[in-house]
Amino acid sequence: MADNQTLSTRHLLGIKDLTEKDIHLIFETADTFKDVLNRPIKKVPSLRDVTIANVFFENSTRTRLSFELAQKRLSADTINFAASSSSVSKGETLIDTVNNILAMKVDMIVMRHPYPGAGVFLSRKVDAHIVNAGDGAHEHPTQALLDAFSIREKYGDVTGKRVAIIGDILHSRVALSNILCLQKLGAEVMVCGPTTLIPKYIESLNVKVEYNLMNALNWCDVANMLRIQLERQDIKYFPSLREYSMLYGLNKEILNSLDKEITIMHPGPINRGVEITSDVADSKQSIILDQVENGVAVRMAVLYLLAGQR
Ligand code: CP
């Protein structure tokens, strides 16, 4: 593989480690794989003889299935590990768990973990390539890549687009990775939500901050609606879900009242009727299922480019 076809990093731990050139390389590679995925025969031999372990210490539907399908489409050998049904419950440490998996000659680990920095920690201890599939409220790099790829697909370019990330920014790994990715690609980014769910450090990331939903919607080309992450909230950040929905929920009436057509995104899983109503989630302006479709091609690209460094 030529140098200009190589990522600048041997792991994908966060968007912060990628250059703009890396992101464009991932997108161009994903374009090719998206073509493959639309063919009658959707499988290529690119990762034959590469073994990948999907190691999930936290629940997942989209990310786990998407990585697994991406690996199968690339002809990789795949093993799956879910902490809930493993010896972690008997007290085994992360390093012991992973070293046991690596002893089975695994080349790459895709890991989701509740602790921020778990992927970085692992990358310092083992030789395999590590892909972060979400670490606590820190980063979710492949989600941000597939989100930006979907905006590029919709508009032809991400540069100059105005993207509002709306909802629970404080507990979101999707928010931080999206901010970093979109800014590297030249988009303008705003975050919007209740004051209690917007972290104080956010302004240091050079994003606009807005507490009024209508102002955010009137400003943006794309609204990325985030889920309220109740499972990460140890205290109450707003009086009730009903009140949150009244102030920050997006419904068809609000969408139709705007004087332009904005694009609606959501990383999933959706809390229908809380951050977004069904008629918005399923509307023509929504690209939520395009995001899911693009996730497979983007993850194929990431795995292919990292495996190419072996
Ligand atoms: N978007 C996302 O990470 O969804 P899952 O938690 O279902 O993987």
- Compute the distance from residue 93 Cα to the ligand 1 centre, in Å: 24
How far apart are alpha carbons 72 and 3 in whole angstroms? 27
For 93-251, strand residue ranges (E) read 108-113, 129-135, 162-166, 188-192, 208-210, 222-225
The CATH code belonging to domain 15-139+292-307 is 3.40.50.1370
Judge if 15-139+292-307 and 141-287 fold alike in CATH terms: yes
- Compute the distance from residue 138 Cα to the ligand 1 centre, in Å: 14
Domain ranges in the chain?
A: 15-139+292-307, 141-287
pLDDT category at 4 given cuts 50, 70, 90 is: low
- Compute the distance from residue 170 Cα to the ligand 1 centre, in Å: 17
Cis peptide before 116 (omega within 30 of 0): no
Q: How far is CA 218 from CA 88, 145, 256, in A?
A: 48, 25, 12
Residue 233 scores a pLDDT above 50: yes
Q: Closest Cα partner for 161 from 225, 215, 220?
A: 220
pLDDT tens sequence across 266-279: 999 999 999 999 99
Residue 2 scores a pLDDT above 50: no
Instruction: Compute the average pLDDT of residues 20-43.
Output: 98
- Nearest residue (by CA) to ligand 1, atom 6, is 60
- Nearest residue (by CA) to ligand 1, atom 4, is 62
How far apart are alpha carbons 100 and 69 in whole angstroms? 24
Domain 141-287 homologous superfamily, CATH: Aspartate/ornithine carbamoyltransferase (3.40.50.1370)
pTM of the model: 0.95
Q: According to the model, what pLDDT value does residue 234 have?
A: 78
The conformation of residue 85, written as its DSSP 8-state character, comes to G
Tokens, residue 204: 């240091």
How far apart are alpha carbons 200 and 212 in whole angstroms? 17
| Beta carbon of 51 within 6 Å of any ligand 1 atom | no
| Beta carbon of 273 within 6 Å of any ligand 1 atom | no
pLDDT tens sequence across 102-136: 998 999 999 999 999 999 999 999 999 999 999 99
